[in-house]
Amino acid sequence: MTSWARFWAVDLHVHTPGSADARAENYGTADDIIAAAMAAGLDAIAITDHNTTEWCDALANAAKGQPIVVLPGVEISTNEGHLLAIWEEGTDSADINDVLARLGIRKADRGKLDIAAEVGFADAAREVAEAGGIAIAAHIDKPKGLLGITVASQMRKTLMEPCLCGVELVDLDKRGQVDQKVPEDRVLAIVQGSDTWDASISQHGLVGIGSRRTWIKASRPDLVGLKHALADPDLRIRVGSPPEAARYPIIDSVELVGGFLSGQRVELCPDLNCMVGGTGAGKSLILEAIRYALDQRVDSEAFPAIGGEVSARLKSALGAGMVRVDLQVDGSRYRVERAHSPDSDSQPYMAIARAAREELVTEAQPRLDELQSAREALLSELHDERNNRRELRRARVDQLNSKTARFVKLDVPSNGDCSQYRAALDIIKVGSRVKDDVLQATASTIHPFQFARLLWAGDVNSLVTSKPASMPPALRDCSPISPIKTCGPSYSTFS
């Protein structure tokens, strides 16, 4: 299976020191140019020096073993403007030089800018096409560009030339002007190339490589891929910004593990896939394996004949094996594996699972939501009752305080706060020998109501005589002593 088409970053207008207006110190060696192109993230470059192929072979050799395609070419000075001519990788530069000779560019003039071919854009493009290359009008919105043709009819004729595969535009804001000049019955690709222009020094230089680029969609960024892209620019050409990644779920591959097809793995394109093959080649099996792994099989009850055929096909191909599917959803990668049992059909069980899921969604979940709502209502009611009870306690404390106003005042502390209670105990214990740890234990464990009732009844010793297991050691270890008379009811102290 051939590699699927994807977008590749290419620079179709690269100069080297072979051009008379390019300085060697701004480029370095052929290896330096290849390294700079790869560092810029380019997948392919076209070498297009002015009227020369001097550096094409050197760059092709430098790119051997590197993940980049080098397309040999030339920027031809026609008598109407500049034309990029590009050939397939591996093309001998001598063949390109023959084209230059047929166009009237002598060997002594190679690399110069102040010379021109004997023909215009259309004739030069036809000559390039006959030699196996493709022609693209260079920087049409700049001097020596195609838009500089002053005769409108000649410009239209040139734009209609079938051998002119596309035009290079420097300023994308002028795209609308170009579209207006292109006849409606002509689909003409618009591309961008860097011209390896270093704006900081206003000269050709290696720094500029890839600064403007084109993304072409092809199986490989060679001349064949470039031709396909230029013939279908709406789908296969992008300029200005890189193409967006797919926003839909993608199946990357399907693999069969076990059975007589064990180890067979098919990688799929993230776009449209087309499986071509004769009867029995496995086209339907690939689809049914994916459907099986993702539980999207044919309903055997509704279509028993088809369901039986699919089950037999999977049983024959997988046996007791497994289907493995790799996929992407929202940028995250997943792997789905599903074992196949040749002796049973899992569809009834899957139907039961789907029914259970449906019941969970339609019945159990609404009931759970209803119970949670009722729970929240009960908790709110309990909270209100607790507040009411606290207010009732405060009322009772106020009543008790009114009767004991001469010697003590009680209050209901906030939840977990016994500071006021402890302060009241500090007042009561004046003149006694009660230790602080006993007072703290009393405040934290004995309810103020109980303490007040025993104080009023003069039976404070009952706090320590019962000694429950939960009582803090500070109180359990206390011993009651004789009561002390005060101005109110008597109360006992303990140590």
Residue 491 scores a pLDDT above 50: no
**Dihedral sign computed on CA atoms, order 61, 66, 71, 74:** negative
**Predicted pLDDT at 375:** 92
Which residue, of 189, 216, 239, is where some domain finishes? 239
Q: Within this chain, do residues 398 and 415 fall inside the same structural domain, yes or no?
A: no
Q: What is the mean pLDDT of residues 110-124?
A: 92
- Residues 413 and 369 both lie in one domain: no
Are both 114 and 192 inside the same structural domain?
Answer: yes
Give the CA distances from residue 346 to residues 29, 284, 291, 341, in Å, rounded to whole numbers and listed in that order.
65, 20, 13, 8
352 in any annotated domain:
no
Q: What's phi and psi for 352, nearest 5 deg? A: -65, -40
pLDDT for the residue 137 = 96
Please check whether residue 239 is in contact with residue 215, taking contact to mean a CB–CB distance below 8 angstroms. Answer: yes
Which has more confidence, 218 or 347? 218
Integer Cα distance of 302 and 10 in angstroms:
52
pLDDT higher than 90, residue 469: no
pTM beyond cutoff 0.85 = no
pLDDT at position 313 is 79
Q: How far is 456 from 420, CA to CA, in rounded Å?
A: 19
pLDDT at position 420: 80
Which position has the higher pLDDT, 317 or 409? 317
- 280 inside domain: yes
Give the helix ranges, DSSP H, for 40-135. 56-62, 93-102, 121-130
Residue 350 in any domain: the answer is no
Q: Which stretches of 131-232 are DSSP H helices?
A: 152-159, 175-181, 223-231
- Same domain, yes or no: 233 and 295: no
The whole-number pLDDT of residue 483 equals 41
Both 283 and 220 in one domain: the answer is no
Q: What are the residues facing 84 on neighbouring strands?
A: 75, 136
Number of structural domains the chain divides into: 4
Query: Higher-confidence residue: 299 or 368?
Result: 368
> Is residue 245, in this structure, part of any structural domain at all?
no
Residue type, 13: H
Residue 451 within a domain: yes
Q: Is 25 helix (H, G, I), strand (E, B) or coil?
A: helix
Q: Whole domain around residue 432: which residue ranges?
A: 406-494
More confident residue, 137 or 3: 137
Contacts of 123 (CB under 8 A, 6+ apart): 78
* 8 A C-beta contact, residue 85 and residue 74: yes
Average pLDDT value for residue range 33-38: 97
Tens digit of pLDDT for each residue in 80-107?
999 999 999 999 999 999 999 999 999 8
- Beta-carbon count within 10 A of 149 CB: 20
Residue 138 pLDDT > 90? yes
Say whether both 106 and 183 belong to one domain.
yes
Nearest to 264 by CA among 228, 225, 214, 317: 317
Last residue of a domain, one of 368, 403, 438: 403
Alpha helices in 92-174 (DSSP H): 93-102, 121-130, 152-159
Burial 130-141 (b: 16+ CB within 10 A, else e): eeebbbbbbbbb
pLDDT score recorded for residue 330: 86
Which tokens in the block code for residue 206? 């290696």
Can you tell me the distance from the alpha carbon of 188 to that of 298, in angstroms, rounded to the nearest whole number?
A: 46
CATH number at residue 184: 3.20.20.140
**pLDDT for position 352:** 65
Does residue 84 share a domain with residue 156? yes
Token pair for residue 103?
A: 């166009």
Compute the radius of gyration of the chain from its Cα atoms. Answer: 45
Which H or E run contains 7? strand 6-14
**Is residue 493 within 8 Å of residue 429, measured between CB atoms?**
yes
Question: Based on the domain organization, do 271 and 167 belong to the same domain?
Answer: no
Q: What is the pLDDT of residues 161-199, one digit of tens each?
A: 999 999 999 999 988 888 888 878 788 999 999 999 998
Q: How far apart are CA 127 and CA 164, in angstroms?
A: 11
Q: Minimal CA–CA distance to 146: which of 182, 115, 117?
A: 182
Q: What pLDDT, in 10s, does the model give residues 326-337?
A: 999 988 999 999
**58 with 93, same domain?**
yes
* Most confident of the following: 70-79, 256-265, 430-439, 449-458: 70-79
Q: How far apart are CA 358 and CA 276, in angstroms?
A: 39
Ramachandran region of residue 63, left (φ > 0), alpha (ψ -120 to 50) or beta?
alpha
Same domain? For 35 and 112 the reply is yes
**160 CB contacts (<8 Å, ≥6 apart)?**
183, 186
- Whether the pLDDT of residue 25 is over 90: the answer is yes
User: Domain of 262: which CATH number?
Assistant: 3.40.50.300
- Residue where a domain terminates, one of 220, 239, 258: 239
As beta bridge partners, residue 197 has: 204
Structural contact between residues 5 and 218, judged by C-beta atoms closer than 8 angstroms: yes
Same-domain pairing of 429 and 305 = no
Question: Is the domain of 313 the same as that of 368?
Answer: no
In this model, does residue 298 exceed pLDDT 50? Answer: yes
CA distance 175 to 139: 12
- The Cα 292–Cα 285 span in angstroms is 10
| 169 contacts 175 by C-beta, under 8 angstroms | yes
What is 368-418 written as a DSSP string? HHHHHHHHHHHHHHHHHHHHHHHHHHHHHHHHHHHHSTTT-----PPTT--
Q: Which two tokens stand for residue 314?
A: 């999977």
Quote the pLDDT of residue 430: 77
pLDDT band at 482 (very low <50, low <70, confident <90, very high): very low
Residue 69: the pLDDT is 97
Cβ neighbors of 50 (< 8 A, separation 6 or more) are 15, 19, 20, 21, 74, 75, 77, 111, 112, 113
Higher-confidence position of 482 and 197: 197
